[in-house]
């Protein structure tokens, strides 16, 4: 064994021993906006050089093979990514890696039941997160590995031609170029929810769903592991039992997740972030353009300063209907969809004028929770500022840094029609539960 290799292994063992000495909780193993998750943690990992070396080595070793996209984009250096970002997160219904007997039978095909598109504006002042219903009837383009060229529910595009086919389908649907994509399966959702330390959600009425084994009383719940996956999968137990209701229920989870990730407590805990980084990159299939820590850092630096009220979750405009083989599927509401994506293509922030959706309601304690969170954030910021003033600031010469940008004005916002539902990350909402008696 060469002296260089032996030295590297000694450094790795030393770093691991230090982490064990700090009593890092083992990851027990969400869909979600995993672009937010991987990105937010990476910023602090880079700044926290005490663990960055071991993190990079261990995470890179855990990474899955990348997937080539037609519009792959390479980020050369660590720093805030220049311009806008379009990123697609795909949630697969694959049971691979899960415990036998925990879930219903494998469907025999691999479907993309969750499709979440993230757009970050070029000036990094706002972000729009679009959830596309799994039953939305779309045209499949010709996919790289064959298949496509026909019309059907969008959740068949993964089975038709893998992640690249899903990306091409969403690109044709939206008119956007999507250079970054990631796919996560059931087991990855479980691992990610544990890595983030659980997500607190509000349930307005009891959720009862025998299909996903989701049973939650009214009140506040911190969901991790399997419970988080069940919550994100439930359809019968929320709203009107539809997939459209499920999306707004998922946005209750996602908005809470973003608030947690952007809180000072999370962003200043390097041990928690290391576990989160490893869970993210080892439990997702990433496009080649995203399959590096540098790229996640670059996207993070574009996201971390966006105010919560400027992160908008939107449901793709659609309504249940159709005829023949597409009866009961979701049909696009074209005028509203055109308005949404015209705003995104023009890099305008979007505003909502409708409801939060069928599966959620306003949190009656929103004001008190917002005040408590603001007070906690102010306290954490003051503590961080005091610590920073007592610590020499390392030189950043030659490195790109994110520059805070002012919030957009109301006149610049493209307000969407009332029948387009969604919420901001700054809104506090509760799941609209549905009991067995109501099904």
- What string of H, E and C letters represents the secondary structure of 53-116? HHHHHHHHHHCCCCECCCCCCCCCCCCCCCCCEEEEEEEECCCCCCCCCCCCCCCCCCCEEEEE
When pLDDT is averaged across residues 190-200 and rounded to a whole number, the result is: 90
Least confident segment among 68-82, 281-295, 352-366: 68-82
Q: Quick one: which of 68, 60, 59 has its CA closest to 288?
A: 68
C-alpha angle 140/141/145, rounded to 5°? 105
- What would the pLDDT profile of 315-358 be if each residue is shown by its tens digit? 999 999 888 888 889 999 999 999 999 999 999 999 999 999 99
Helices (H), 79-214: 157-174, 186-195
Residue-wise burial string across 409-419, b where 16 or more C-beta atoms lie within 10 A, e elsewhere:
eeeebeebeee
| Reported pTM | 0.79
Q: Which two tokens stand for residue 60?
A: 């890179």
When pLDDT is averaged across residues 105-126 and rounded to a whole number, the result is: 88
What is the CATH class of 27-102+113-384+412-438? alpha beta
Q: Alpha-carbon distance 113 to 181, whole Å?
A: 15
Residue-wise burial string across 219-245, b where 16 or more C-beta atoms lie within 10 A, e elsewhere:
eebebbbbbbbbbbbbbbbbbebbbbb
User: Which residues are registered as beta bridge partners of 86?
Assistant: 119
Segment 168-173 long-range contacts (CB within 8 Å, at least 24 positions apart): 168/70, 168/141, 168/143, 168/144, 169/138, 169/139, 169/140, 169/141, 170/88, 170/115, 170/117, 170/132, 171/71, 171/141, 172/138, 172/139, 172/141, 173/132, 173/138, 173/139
Categorize the per-residue pLDDT at 290 as very low, low, confident or very high, splitting at 50, 70 and 90: confident
3-state secondary structure of 142: coil
Neighbours of 1 (CB within 10 A): 6
Residue 43 has pLDDT above 80, yes or no: no
Q: Alpha-carbon distance 130 to 103, whole Å?
A: 27
Which residues are CB-neighbours of 355 under 8 A, at least 6 positions away?
A: 421
Q: Which two tokens stand for residue 317?
A: 């405009």
Q: Alpha-carbon distance 406 to 420, whole Å?
A: 27
Q: How far is CA 239 from the centre of its chain?
A: 22
Neighbours of 7 (CB within 10 A): 10
3-state secondary structure of 131: strand
Residue-wise burial string across 258-275, b where 16 or more C-beta atoms lie within 10 A, e elsewhere:
bbbbbbbebbbbbebbbb
- What would the pLDDT profile of 148-165 be if each residue is shown by its tens digit? 888 999 999 999 999 999
Q: Which two tokens stand for residue 20?
A: 């064990």
- What would the pLDDT profile of 169-183 be if each residue is shown by its tens digit? 999 999 999 999 999
Residue ranges covered by each domain of the chain: 27-102+113-384+412-438
Dihedral angle, C-alpha 90, 96, 101, 106, nearest 10 °: 70
Phi, psi of 360 (to 5 degrees): -150, 160
Residue 208 has pLDDT above 70, yes or no: yes
Q: Quick one: which of 207, 239, 242, 243 has its CA closest to 223?
A: 207
- State the pLDDT at residue 313: 98
DSSP summary character for residue 25? P
Categorize the per-residue pLDDT at 79 as very low, low, confident or very high, splitting at 50, 70 and 90: low
Q: Alpha-carbon distance 403 to 157, whole Å?
A: 39
When pLDDT is averaged across residues 357-382 and rounded to a whole number, the result is: 88
Least confident segment among 16-25, 72-81, 85-94, 304-313: 16-25
Q: Mean pLDDT highest for which of 3-12, 224-233, 254-263?
A: 224-233
Any idea which residue has 């947690």 for tokens?
260
Q: How far is CA 80 from the centre of its chain?
A: 19
């Amino acid at each position: 064994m060469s002296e260089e290799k032996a030295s590297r292994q000694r450094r790795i063992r030393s770093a691991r021993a230090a982490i064990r000495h700090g009593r890092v909780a083992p990851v027990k193993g969400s869909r979600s906006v995993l672009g937010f998750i991987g990105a937010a943690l990476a910023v602090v990992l880079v700044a926290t050089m005490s663990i960055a070396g071991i993190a990079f080595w261990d995470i890179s070793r855990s990474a899955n093979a990348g997937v080539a996209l037609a519009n792959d984009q390479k980020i050369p250096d660590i720093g805030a990514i220049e311009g806008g970002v379009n990123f697609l997160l795909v949630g697969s219904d694959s049971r691979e890696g899960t415990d036998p007997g925990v879930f219903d039978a494998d469907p025999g095909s691999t479907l993309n039941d969750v499709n979440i598109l993230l757009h970050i504006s070029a000036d990094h002042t706002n972000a729009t997160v679009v959830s596309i219903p799994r039953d939305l009837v779309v045209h499949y383009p010709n996919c790289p590995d064959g298949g496509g060229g026909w019309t059907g529910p969008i959740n068949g595009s993964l089975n038709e031609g893998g992640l690249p086919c899903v990306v091409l389908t969403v690109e044709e649907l939206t008119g956007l170029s999507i250079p970054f994509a990631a796919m996560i399966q059931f087991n990855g959702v479980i691992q990610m929810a544990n890595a983030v330390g659980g997500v607190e959600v509000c349930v307005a009425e009891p959720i009862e769903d025998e299909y996903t084994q989701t049973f939650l009383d009214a009140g506040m719940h911190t969901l991790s592991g399997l419970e988080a996956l069940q919550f994100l999968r439930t359809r019968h137990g929320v709203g009107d039992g539809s997939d459209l209701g499920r999306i707004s229920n998922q946005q209750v989870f996602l908005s809470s997740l973003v608030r947690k990730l952007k809180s000072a407590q999370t962003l200043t805990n390097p041990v928690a972030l290391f576990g989160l980084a490893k869970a993210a990159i080892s439990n997702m299939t990433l496009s080649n353009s995203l399959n590096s820590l540098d790229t996640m850092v670059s996207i993070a630096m574009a996201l971390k300063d966006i105010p919560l009220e400027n992160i908008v979750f939107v449901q793709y405009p659609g309504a249940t209907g159709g005829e023949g083989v597409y009866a009961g599927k979701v049909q696009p509401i074209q005028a509203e969809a055109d308005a949404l994506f015209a705003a995104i293509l023009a890099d305008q922030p979007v505003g909502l004028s409708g409801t939060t959706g069928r599966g959620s309601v306003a949190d009656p304690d929103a004001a008190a929770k917002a005040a408590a969170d603001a007070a906690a954030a102010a306290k954490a910021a003051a503590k961080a500022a005091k610590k920073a003033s007592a610590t020499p600031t390392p030189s950043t010469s030659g490195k790109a840094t994110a520059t805070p940008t002012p919030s957009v004005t109301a006149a610049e916002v493209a307000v969407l029609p009332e029948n387009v539902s969604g919420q901001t990350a700054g809104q506090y909402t509760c799941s609209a539960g549905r009991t067995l008696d109501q099904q």
